[in-house]
Amino acid sequence: MIRHDRNVGNLTKNIEDYQSQFHLAASAPVGQERMRAAIPMRKAANESEKLLDALIGQIDSRIQTVKAGTLEHATQMQVVVVAVGLVVVVLGIFFAVLLALSIVRLFTTAEQDDQSGKRGIRRGRSFFNARR
């Protein structure tokens, strides 16, 4: 985790200083006094801007770190999903071939039984007698 509590606290303090300097400059009469009152206000604004830039830099680095971790995790998950998909496809092909072979064997056995039954009928035996 990024520790930005100190920066946020300093930023809050600088913003409060800026607001008080702004109120002083706004309440000063127009002319030299207002210009002199605006100098500390500009300094407070400059400090606040530097702290905001540092805070934004920390946030950006944290975003980049999380982004890199997320992309790495997504890549790993992509590899796992592709591997599981390939296993499923290979198993599907295997079972399709196994089913086709079983069906071919079933029809081949039925055809052989049918042919032997026909021979049995020609010889005067029934299909059931030929099997005994």
**pLDDT for 16-46, tens place per residue?**
888 888 888 888 888 888 888 888 888 888 8
Confidence (pTM):
0.54
Helix axes 32-122, 5-27, angle to 10 degrees: 140
Tell me: the pLDDT tens digits for 75-100?
Answer: 999 999 999 999 999 999 999 999 99
Each residue of 81-90: b (16+ CB within 10 Å) or e? eeeeeeeeee
Where are the chain's structural domains? 5-131
pLDDT of amino acid 48: 86
